[in-house]
Structure 1
Amino acid sequence: MDVMDDIARRGLLLLGCGKMGSAMLAGWLARGVDPGMVSVIDPAPSDWLRGTRVRLGAPEAPPAVAVIAVKPQMMDDALPALDAGDTLFVSVAAGVPVARFEAALGAGARVVRAMPNTPAAIGRGITAIVANAAAGADGLDAAEALLSAVGEVVRLEDEDQIDAVTAVSGSGPAYAFHLIEAMTDAGVAEGLPEPLSRRLATATVAGAGALAMEAGEDAAALRRNVTSPGGTTQAALEVLMDPARGFPHLVPEAVAAAARRSRELRG
């Protein structure tokens, strides 16, 4: 049965409605999910959430899907309140492995672990998913159908890849935001007013990302296209591409640090 048909029949539970939960809920409602079939458990419902006409509180019967979007430190309180049954559990909680859900819900619990990122708030996120054996391919199909409401979805071969995904795409938006900060400061240092420099930096990073998504060429080819021999871009890239102190050194070091911390957090 299609997941949306199953939700229309048995309902959908969202546990936690912060920024990511709200983004997902907005995407589902925009796709035509009946708010009357959605239950949301959140300790402090926002005015926006109250206005969606979803059910606030636990559902009366086990839902088709339960999406877990609470903070990892709240998981110990949240999981015991859930009844596994034949519900599909989709978790977007960072650092919480599938095994922890199986321990709390039972070895037969159907679990999909997902790692989204913050551009999901505007429907431009990318989410990586992986399922346990009990969820299988059907669980992955259902999770992809739900999570595609906030952007692209990719499937992992193994849960261990989640740490690398966290380091590249989960934490990645912060790297892009910091690049905007650094470019803004550099423009100011070269004599631009701060608001103008910030606007130029923000639009440039956003536009370059959109071009990379749509151009049909890889990033290296796009970089070469904009780099004239002996020109201004080449002068800048000689600094940024320095293997000892530029991006080839800094970015792998930063991603490795994030992946290492991800592994530490899951124990």
Structure 2
Amino acid sequence: MPQTPHIAFIGAGNMAQAIIKGMLAAGYPPNKICASGRTQAKLDQLTADTGIHTSIDNLSLCDQADVIVLGVKPHMMGDLVKSIAPAIDPSKHLIVSVAAGILAGSIDSWLGQTTPIVRCMPNTPSLVGKGAAGLFATTGVSSAQKHTASTIMQSVGLALWVETEAHIDAVTAVSGSGPAYYFLMMEAMIAGAEELGLSNDVAQQLVLQTAVGAAQMAQESQQTPAQLRLAVTSPKGTTEQAIDTFNKGDFSQLCSQAMAAAHHRSKELANLYKA
């Protein structure tokens, strides 16, 4: 693989654009990135915004590329992969899939040949450079190709490798769907603050800043989240009363059940879109 591989994004939606802009911000040369899509006007705007080459011709982009990032919706993946199969060379290309529920074996089946594949499960905070992604590599992926996949995903946040493809379902339940869990908590706290008499504007600002502060403390502290929680929970204080209420509602068990449900659905989707 070249030192600076040519990367083609097939599908130029929000996630692909976030990754592209993150790579450019990190110094990746725009002449080494290209993207395709179905709407010429949107591609023209992407070129104007980023300076990368865009096209509606998937095959020509694949011919030029060393790495092909598949960023279309899961239900579109089968037809797309079959359409680009004639341009794929397993001795040259690395396929990177960011589509939920699409197994590496399905991509191989649609291509008609075994190809180096990396599956990624990014999340929506990638759009603001604070993403968290899990990555899995099939046996044919070289160390250089793994490095390239890491470079792509680290441009928009944290990227961690998992040992088995089944772990991608767990990543989906933790960080893929995880932002929505926090948004739900924020919604509930804002509503609760309004019930206590605060305006929506004040409630929203306080809740969002509290979430940002708590996350930053957890990242920067040498203490675990459990230790940080205990440090702020004074005996017979206000925080203890709130935590006791959460515990009476079995908050931890509810979180566990919710993540198990997301994990189960991720496996169902893999079977639904299986080749």
If the length of structure 1 is used for normalisation, what is the TM-score?
A: 0.92
Q: 1:152-199 CA deviation, whole Å, 9 max, x = no partner?
A: 111101001111110111000000011110000000011111111111
CA distance in 1, matches of 2:220, 2:13: 31
Moved over 3 A (4+): none
SS at match of 2:63: coil
- Residues 263 and 248 of structure 1: is their aligned pair in 2 closer, same or farther, counting only changes over 3 Å? same
How many Å apart are 1:60 and its aligned residue? 7.1
| Structure 1: 5+ residue stretches without partners | none
Residue 50 (str. 1) matches residue 41 (str. 2) = no
SS at match of 1:207: helix
Aligned residues: CA RMSD: 1.6
Query: Which residue does the alignment assign to 1:39?
Result: 34
Correspondence list, 1:49-128, <5 A: 49-51=46-48, 52-57=50-55, 58-59=60-61, 61-82=63-84, 83-85=87-89, 86-128=92-134
| Greater relative contact order (CA < 8 Å, ≥ 6 in sequence) | 2
Query: Which residue does the alignment assign to 1:14?
Result: 9
- Residues 48 and 237 of structure 1: is their aligned pair in 2 closer, same or farther, counting only changes over 3 Å? farther
Q: 1:177-223 CA deviation, whole Å, 9 max, x = no partner?
A: 11110000000011111111111111111211111111121100110
How many Å apart are 1:41 and its aligned residue? 0.8
Q: 1:205-258 CA deviation, whole Å, 9 max, x = no partner?
A: 12111111111211001101111110000000001123xx23112101100110
Correspondence list, 1:192-207, <5 A: 192-207=198-213
Does structure 1 conserve the Cα–Cα contact (< 8 Å) formed by 2:63 and 2:88?
Answer: no
2:173 to 167, 171, 174: 167
CA distance in 2, matches of 1:218, 1:155: 22
SS at match of 1:127: strand
CA distance in 1, matches of 2:83, 2:31: 22
CA distance in 2, matches of 1:130, 1:60: 22
CA distance in 1, matches of 2:252, 2:156: 31
If the length of structure 2 is used for normalisation, what is the TM-score?
A: 0.90
Give the partner amino acid of 1:196: V
